[in-house]
Structure 1
Amino acid sequence: MKMIPKPFRNWLSRYGQLPVDIVYDYPRVTMIGQLHLYIENHHGLSHFSNQEIIINQQQSQMVVTGRDLVIKNLLKEEIVIEGQIENVSWRSPSNL
């Protein structure tokens, strides 16, 4: 939805009852305990090791750190990570 102006996106999310993550192209992150992380709407991987995984988002990067990290599933728009997840954070464009 890159071509839709911001005021119309606001209207779509409020009155069109569309989820904000879809209207603004935000990632949807589901974490189950410290063992399982499910990320929808990503834009690829930047780095992968068993201690750190960096995932590209539309205008930032998500950094997942931990131990024994494994990518269980990698599809075009979703990733499933398992292992001992210790931290999930975002880097803004200024930190890239």
Structure 2
Amino acid sequence: MKKWSTQFKKWFADVSNIPEDVVLGVPRITLIGQFRLSIENYQNVLAFSKTELKLMLNEGELHISGEDFVLETILEKEIVLQGRVNDVRFVNN
């Protein structure tokens, strides 16, 4: 059933011209070089330090590691991270 629902949502995004990430509720991740990362559609900040950012997603978590992290922007649905990004990983529950 879940596979059918996902396929329907993808089809709906195509025919309605609504971005797929909005319809599916998945994160949109934009990495500019190795020093600026923007994440949209996250649920919650789980952990933050100068070397780590962990975010709760609709399905699972997003783990980012690196150096000298600073949160440039933190909004309800978007977060912008500055610093040297070394690793971006999806962790499924």
Instruction: Tell me if both proteins adopt one fold, taking TM over 0.5 as the criterion.
Output: yes
| 1:76 aligned counterpart, secondary structure | coil
After superposition, residues 74-93 of structure 1 pair within 5 angstroms as: 74-93=74-93
State the 4+ residue runs in structure 1 displaced beyond 6 angstroms: none
- One-letter amino acid of the counterpart of residue 86, structure 2: E
1:64 alignment partner AA: I
Residue 58 (structure 2) aligns with? 58
TM-score for the superposition, normalised by structure 1: 0.85
Q: How does 1:3-14 map to 2 (within 5 A)?
A: 6=5, 8-14=8-14
1:68 aligns with 2:46: no
SS of the residue aligned with 1:26? Answer: coil
* One-letter amino acid matched to 1:9: K
Greater fraction helix: 2
- Percent identical among aligned pairs is 30
Unmatched segments (≥5 aa) in structure 1: none
Q: How many residues were matched structurally?
A: 89
Query: What is the root-mean-square deviation in Å for CA atoms of aligned residues?
Result: 1.4
Q: Which secondary structure does the structure 2 equivalent of 1:69 belong to?
A: strand
- The runs of 5 or more residues in structure 2 that have no matched partner are none
